[in-house]
Structure 1
Amino acid sequence: MVKIRLFCAAGMSTSLLVNKMKEAAGRKGIEVDIEAFPEGQMDKHLDGLDVALLGPQVGYTIGKAKKVCEPKGIPVDVIPMVDYGMMNGEKVLDFALKMVSR
């Protein structure tokens, strides 16, 4: 089971992306636990996390996110704007999975 958390501004469009990522994982036969939360709650949602992704709208917080995630060994990055904008769940899932295998 791969545990992925998306952190964004309010969570509306990101929740849609979470559903598309879950659908893509189902097609690939990959067990995932994916949820979205506001970026300000990141520190409360890191237990057992495999990867953290930031929505492009909060990408400016990557420095702060790295300070919180890296000491715990959690890879963190900003979701590519094009994939986020297109709600491409498969590409964002692949992006997250590559981060886990680094």
Structure 2
Amino acid sequence: MRIMLACAQGMSTSLLVAKMKEAAELNEVDVEIFAAPEAEIPKHKAEIDIVLLGPQVAYLLEDTQEVLADTNIPVTVINSVDYGMLNGGKVLDVALKLIEKTKEGEK
């Protein structure tokens, strides 16, 4: 699984990526997590399973959903409290559940 966190420049989400990777390792979850600027979403859409938008770019939710409309990639905005507290475990859990829900919907 590949999780993409997107924000304006891809830098502010990098701390959360590190915390999510720690949580994945602790829970033995095989996942690749990376941060990138939101402008790079189209470039990565063939290789990702979900896009998590930083709260500061929540206004891009609809635009991002349109960019990914030809895929089955879910998009959601990271909870601002979890983002601010760098709660990597919680954000990872939300992402994994949304990926699973999307895959179940494909069946």
- The answer to whether the superposition gives a TM-score over 0.5 is yes
Gaps of 5+ in 1: none
2:60 maps to 61
Alpha-carbon distance, 1:28 to partner: 0.4
1:77 maps to 76
* TM score, norm. by length of structure 1: 0.94
Deviations, residues 21-58 of structure 1 (Å, cap 9, x unaligned): 00000000001111100011111111131111100001
Return 29-38 or 6-15, whichever deviates more.
6-15
* TM score, norm. by length of structure 2: 0.90
1:37 maps to 36
Identity fraction in percent = 52
1:87 maps to 86
- Stretches (4+) displaced over 3 A: none
C-alpha contact (below 8 Å) 2:11/2:35 kept by paired residues: no
Gaps of 5+ in 2: 102-107
Counting matched residue pairs gives: 101
